[in-house]
Amino acid sequence: MITDRNGLPVSLGIPGANMHDSLGLEPLVWGIPPIRSRRGPRRRRPGKLHADKGYDYDHLRRWLRQRGIRHRIARRGIESSQRLGRHRWVVERTVSWLAGCRRLHRRYERKAEHFLAFVGIAAALICHRRLTK
């Protein structure tokens, strides 16, 4: 899941069983819709991406750099995860909002498409609740 600064879900995906998180980054970034801006053309990509140590791979850093996305990825064995905590809690909060939906707490659907549809509905409800406040 990719969120914006306020914790609103922007791009959602369901990984396969026993799939590492780093393999799902590229499809999630490609799934971000165009961002409407007040002036100028629509932005096609985010300006910056924060990620934890699970995404610390050179090929991901190169891929993000080629697309013009600045990245802030904690390095394994060098940096502490504590510095990313101020950005990471936003994502963790959104995950807890999704976990509050009873249907998503345990995966009952056999097909991934059905589960992804329910996650999309839950994300739409989260966005609606946050934007109407």
Give the rounded distance of the alpha carbon of 105 from its chain centre: 18
- 3-state class (DSSP) for residue 57: coil
- Tens digits of residue pLDDT in 31-81: 888 777 777 777 777 888 888 788 889 999 999 999 888 988 878 877 666
Do 97 and 119 meet the contact criterion of CB atoms below 8 Å apart?
Answer: no
- Tens digits of residue pLDDT in 75-120: 887 766 666 666 677 777 888 888 888 777 777 778 888 888 888 8
Domain ranges of the chain: 2-132
pTM of the model: 0.72
